[in-house]
Structure 1
């Protein structure tokens, strides 16, 4: 007679247990797929829509104070509008643009704007890159140096004009005093065209170089240090590391700085306006340093069709900025591809 303890599938309490060698248990039928709850659907909708809601206020404000004035300016440039009129007159087509392009003062302002832009933006970006590279090194008092380069940016433009006005004064300026002490003839900073460009570009560079240097410094600090260690192990010098590691790694930030400097350089108004000692504020007696932004401002206060002609000049300035920005973008991308090849 067989003992019940020897029977397979029996436990001590007489309950049946599954034999490990037996067939597998059939899985349960999951049934129909459960539909997501309304809270789950709401959370998914929130994740998809909320990013657009966050940026919607910016685009709303931009549409009111940026896009609408720009479009209305373009619309106004095709009409006539007397100086003391309450509404625009008849449509004149491209007559306002033709008048602006044929104006010799506009052509002078165009040359002045490009000249001051080249004397300010190009050295500004080069010096800002070198300053950022120096601040990225292990210097004593790095925090103090980084704060000091931003001091010119926080100085009021009027104070900047007073400082550089005393430096570049024609008769009693410090620069001419130094030149006279060296036996050189004084420079007519407000009368000579290129000299006035140089003085205004110096004001712009002094104010904005530190600001751009801090932007580039932030990009340099984000470069992985492993890349520099690997380059040092391969025998690369600091200059080689800067050219082969730093510059390619910050190319996106460099492109941003170049484009913003281009936009700001072509829209320059404050520095030449404050540099002008003439009571008429026309950019010199012979318009030798009047910029396009100053031309737009002065045209809006002229006697004949001031607003439509100023609107046409403003749109020509806008197209010029777009063209230079695209040119800088294409050239920067081409140089980056050549450096990476």
Structure 2
């Protein structure tokens, strides 16, 4: 009897220690979930709730059902902003993914000297202040004939462009700004992917007689697939949420012109300039579905990348 009582007390003591460890673990991770609930989950749920309300931010709310969605979808400016978002996203995002892989290959060459210097240099635009970016590109793409961009066009015999006022001039300037700012981010990810590939694979392929091109197609690109999928996903989401670059480039007139108004700029204008939080929230919900659809398309398009025939 005494031994059985001692074993029971040991079990209770063990369970109590286990519960204490479990409680302490939950307490350690609780701050993250509390902060996420306050600044992440609650605003998202409240935005979905506002999508069905008419509210100016001060007065009482009025339930309007799906009216906000119809107002947004029937607004030509919304479709113009969506068109601008897609065009600028393609012009600024697709080239940086391709060029990022090429630069990563160059930075990974064994005979390249000053590798750390070039890696830091290519990553600098990503950590550069947006104020500095605005100053740089306002000078590069000034409407004056003496600006650097117009000077380069003049060298090739083209007429000067009013970059801040013309339809395509604005889109090209913002796309170049997006490309310049994010090329280093994707390059570093691809470089990390290249360095994670074992040299044994290349040595075995060389012994088997595989050429450099065959090694690129059958070893490098399939092994880079997770990194490519990651950058394509992040770039797609970032392109659809484009806000800072066009706002900075166009300045105070960004929300009164439609040459480069994006979807996020459209909902920002509705919320904080027109005090129409209902339509702004409806736009946010529509944008969420657009991001989900585009992400699903990207996932399906890249799911077979690097997969052998007959492989499930």
* In structure 2, C-alpha distance between the alignment counterparts of 1:145 and 1:47, rounded to whole Å: 47
**Aligned pair partner of 2:123 in 141, 150, 153:** 150
Whether 2:81 is the aligned partner of 1:135: answer no
Aligned counterpart, 2:84: 112
1:58 aligns to 2:29 (yes or no)? no
Task: Give the secondary structure class of the aligned counterpart of 1:300.
Answer: helix
Corresponding residue for 1:182?
156
Coordinate RMSD, CA, aligned: 2.6
Q: Once the 2 structures are TM-superposed, how far is the Cα of residue 165 of structure 1 from its aligned partner?
A: 1.6
Q: CA deviation at 1:208?
A: 0.9
Q: Secondary structure at the match of 1:282?
A: coil
Contact 2:126 2:185 (C-alpha < 8 Å) held by counterparts = yes
Q: Determine which of 162, 186, 210 is the counterpart of 1:212.
A: 186
Match of 1:225 in 2: 199
Give a deviation string over 1:106-136, Cα, whole Å, max 9, x none: 1100000011111111111111111112222
SS at 2:238 equivalent: helix
Structure 2 unmatched ranges of 5 or more: none
Question: Is 1:195 matched with 2:169?
Answer: yes
| Structure having greater relative contact order (Cα 8 Å, sep ≥ 6) | 2
Structure 1 251/49 Cα, relative in aligned 2: closer, same or farther at 3 Å?
Answer: farther
For residues 242 and 52 of structure 1, the distance between their equivalents in structure 2, rounded to whole angstroms, comes to: 46
Which structure 2 residues correspond to residues 236-275 of structure 1 after superposition, within 5 A?
A: 236-275=210-249
TM, length-normalised to structure 1: 0.81
> What SS does structure 2 have at the residue aligned with 1:236?
coil
Q: Can you give the 5+ residue segments of structure 1 that lack an aligned partner in the other structure?
A: 1-30
Provide the C-alpha distance between the structure 1 equivalents of 2:219 and 2:22, rounded to a whole number of angstroms: 38
1:328 equivalent in structure 2: 298
Higher helix share: 2
Deviation at 1:55, TM superposition (A): 4.8
Contact 2:222 2:307 in 1 (8 A): no
Q: Distance in 2 between matches of 1:39 and 1:235?
A: 65
Residues 76-108 of structure 1 deviation map (CA, whole Å, 9 limit, x = unaligned): 11111146x3331x2110111110111111110
Q: Which moved more, 1:124-133 or 1:112-121?
A: 124-133
